[in-house]
């Protein structure tokens, strides 16, 4: 996949995951970064359990990236929440 495709996938996945997880976005840049990292994490998790990882810019890859982004958001909030205390 090209860099542009990763950015588009990351933006969409990060935005959707932040809406599903926290109800509000973290900001455009952080949503993109968490979405791209989430695509890698989702691909790793899915391939670990025997499913296909991110395969391109399609619906399946979007679901993989959103699942990964939710995991990354959960970790992000756990770490950021710990620092706020």
Instruction: Say how far apart CA 65 and CA 59 lie, in whole Å.
Output: 10
Does 28 have pLDDT greater than 80? Answer: no
Residue 28: closest CA among 7, 2, 46, 51:
7
Average pLDDT over residues 25-51: 78
Residues in the chain: 85
Q: What is the pLDDT of residues 45-66, one digit of tens each?
A: 888 888 877 777 788 888 888 8
73-to-2, 3, 22, 53 alpha-carbon distances in Å = 24, 22, 8, 19
Query: Does residue 69 or residue 30 have the better pLDDT?
Result: 69
Instruction: Say how far apart CA 84 and CA 27 lie, in whole Å.
Output: 18
Q: How confident is the model at residue 84 (pLDDT cuts 50, 70, 90)?
A: low
Query: Does residue 1 or residue 47 have the better pLDDT?
Result: 47
């Amino acid at each position: 996949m090209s860099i542009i495709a990763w950015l588009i996938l990351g933006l969409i996945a990060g935005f959707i995951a932040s809406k599903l997880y926290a109800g509000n976005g973290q900001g455009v840049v952080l949503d993109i970064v968490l979405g791209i990292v989430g695509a890698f994490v989702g691909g790793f998790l899915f391939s670990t359990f025997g499913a296909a990882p991110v395969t391109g810019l399609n619906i399946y890859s979007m679901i993989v990236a959103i699942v990964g982004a939710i995991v990354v958001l959960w970790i992000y909030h756990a770490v950021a929440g710990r620092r706020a205390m």
